[in-house]
Amino acid sequence: MLALLALVACEPDGLDPDDSHWDVTVTAFENTCTDSEQGYQENFTYSLDYEGSLVKLKIGQDAFSTGTLSGCQLEYESQVIGEPDRPGGAIQWVLSGEAVISTDASVCQMEENVGEYMTEYDLDWDTYGAGNAADAVTWVGVEHFEIVASEDESIDIGCTYSMVVAGTFRPAE
């Protein structure tokens, strides 16, 4: 699992000043791919490059997904991403995500949206909110990594890794 995310999560120095940025924490809550009980949590800066309602999501300068933003609702999906040099055999996956985002916590009823996500996935905000108050977060959503090809006999096609993404807007410096 960690190796899967490492490919997507390589953060080079520097952020594009023309993008909007959120400091987020990604925390795993479901793994249907392996028997591992090991949890995953990592911090990133997600950047959005807007072209009208179309957005490119980036970590550092590296785009990892594209999507659409309608009001506060963001939906995104990656192309097929592969990890060819794994010890158990190559795998490929697609990331899909949805989130409610804002640059201001008072906009978009963030506390209500936090509650809806936590209820929908039967999760506890104290565990998955990364230390953020529900009324202060400006990004809350869920990402799913679905395995679409696997040469590793221990990882089935169609299994998923699911994560909560929670964080706050980073104003321009």
The residues pairing with 93 across neighbouring beta strands, listed in sequence order, are: 81, 147
* Domain-located, residue 11: no
Enclosing domain of residue 69: 18-170
Tokens of 66: 């594209």
* Domain-located, residue 7: no
Mean pLDDT split into 10-residue runs, the chain, 173 residues: 42 76 96 84 95 93 94 97 91 97 89 96 95 95 97 95 96 78
- The dihedral of CA 159, 92, 7, 9: what is its sign? negative
User: Residue 35 sits in a domain of what CATH number?
Assistant: 2.40.160
* Domain-located, residue 5: no
Residues 6+ positions from 65 with CB-CB distance below 8 Å? 56, 57, 76, 77, 78, 95, 97
In the chain, the amino acid numbered 111 is: E
Report the predicted TM-score, pTM, of the whole model to 2 decimal places: 0.88
**Which parts of the chain fold into alpha helices (H)?**
2-8, 110-120, 125-128
pLDDT of residue 136: 93
C-alpha 79/C-alpha 9 separation (Å) is 15
* Domain-located, residue 121: yes
Termini Cα distance of the chain? 34
* Domain-located, residue 4: no
Number of domains in the chain: 1
Q: Which of 60, 53, 69, 76 is nearest to 19 (CA)?
A: 60
Q: How many CB atoms lie within 10 A of CB 92?
A: 16
